Structure 1
Amino acid sequence: MRSIPKISDAEWEIMKLIWRVNPVTSEEIILSLSDKTNWSAQTIKTFINRLLKKGVIDFKKSGRSYIYYPLISEKDCIKAESKSFLEKVYDGAVGMLFSNFIEEEPLS
C-alpha cells in the first residue's frame, strides 16, 4: 500500500462526500457541504485543491464542470488514520487502547 497523506478533519468531510457520491462535481460538493457547514464556496474549493495536491483525489474536466473522484479508498484512509492515532496517542500499543476503552465505557 502506498503512503497515504494526512487528511485534515475538513478534508475528511469532503472525502466522505466524494466516496459516497463518486464521481461528483465541484458544484455538487459545494451545494452539499455549504448546507451542512458554514464554509464558503471558496473555502470548499481550497480544501478540494489541497486534496488534489496531496494526491488523494483527481478530476476530469467535462465541459465547464470539474468531476472529482478518489484515488485512495475510504478503507485505506481509515486504516492509515487509525494507525496514526494509535501511534500518536498510545505509542502503537493496541492493548492500551482497548484497556482505556474498557475502563471508560460501561459494558451493556
Structure 2
Amino acid sequence: MTERISDAEHAVMEVLWEESPLTAQEVAERVPAERGWSANTVKTLLGRLLAKNIIAHQEEGRRYLYRPLVVRGDYVAGESRKLMDRLFGGKLTPLVAHLAERDQLTDQDIAEIEALLRDLKQ
C-alpha cells in the first residue's frame, strides 16, 4: 500500500476488517457512535478508500458491497515499520527504551515482552 490512510479512513477500515463485504449503510451503523458520522460521511470515506485502491466494491442490485483489499496485519506491519523508521532509525530497541523510560510499560506489558523474547529465542 503506497498511500497513507487518515484516522477517519482507518475507522472505516477497522469495520471492514472486522466483517465484509458490507454496504455503506452497514459500515455507517458499525462505526463507533462517538464519531457522530452520517451515512454521507461514511460514503465519502469509502470513496476515498476506493480511489486509493485500499478497498473494492461490487454491485449487488442497487447497492454496493465494500471489502478490504489490504490485510489488516500487512497494514499494521507497514505502519509499525514507518513509525520505527521515522522516529527510531528503524530500530526496535530505542522504541521500547523510550516507552520504558516514560513509564508507559505496565507490568503486564513487560511480562508479555519477556514471554515474546523467550519464544523468539527458542
Which TM bucket (shorter chain)? 0.7 to 0.9
**Aligned residues of 1:34 and 1:40 also touching (Cα < 8 A):** no
* SS of the residue 1:24 aligns to: coil
Query: Comparing both chains, which one has the higher relative contact order based on Cα–Cα distances under 8 Å and sequence gaps of 6 or more?
Result: 1
CA distance in 1, matches of 2:50, 2:74: 17
After TM superposition, the score normalised by the length of structure 1 is: 0.87
1:91 corresponds to: 89
Give the C-alpha shift of residue 16 in structure 1.
0.7
CA contact 1:59–1:68 (8 Å) conserved in 2: yes
Residue in 1 that maps onto 2:40 = 42
Cα distance between partner residues in 2 of 1:106 and 1:60: 45
1:47-77, Cα deviation, whole Å (9 max, x unpaired): 1111101111000010111100111100101
1:76-87 to 2 correspondences below 5 Å: 76-87=74-85
1:102 offset after TM fit, Å?
2.0
The higher radius of gyration belongs to 2
Q: Distance in 1 between matches of 2:97 and 2:90?
A: 13
Letter in 2 for 1:50: R
Aligned counterpart, 1:52:
50
**Identical positions, percent:** 31
The alpha-carbon distance between structure 1 residues 34 and 107, as it changes in their structure 2 partners (threshold 3 A), is closer
RMSD: 1.7
Pick which of 88-97 and 73-82 moved more.
88-97
Q: Which moved more, 1:97-106 or 1:19-28?
A: 97-106
Asked if structure 1 preserves the Cα contact closer than 8 Å seen for 2:24 and 2:39, the reply is no
Q: Following superposition of structure 1 onto structure 2, how do residues 1-108 of structure 1 map, counting pairs within 5 Å?
A: 3-33=1-31, 35-103=33-101, 104=103, 105-107=105-107
Equivalent-residue separation in structure 1 for 2:57 and 2:46 (angstroms): 10
Give per-residue Cα distances to partners, 1:21-72, cap 9 Å, x unaligned: 1111111011222734112222211111111011110000101111001111
CA distance in structure 1 between the aligned counterparts of 2:59 and 2:29, rounded to whole angstroms: 19
Taking the aligned partners of 2:86 and 2:41, their CA distance within structure 1 comes to: 28
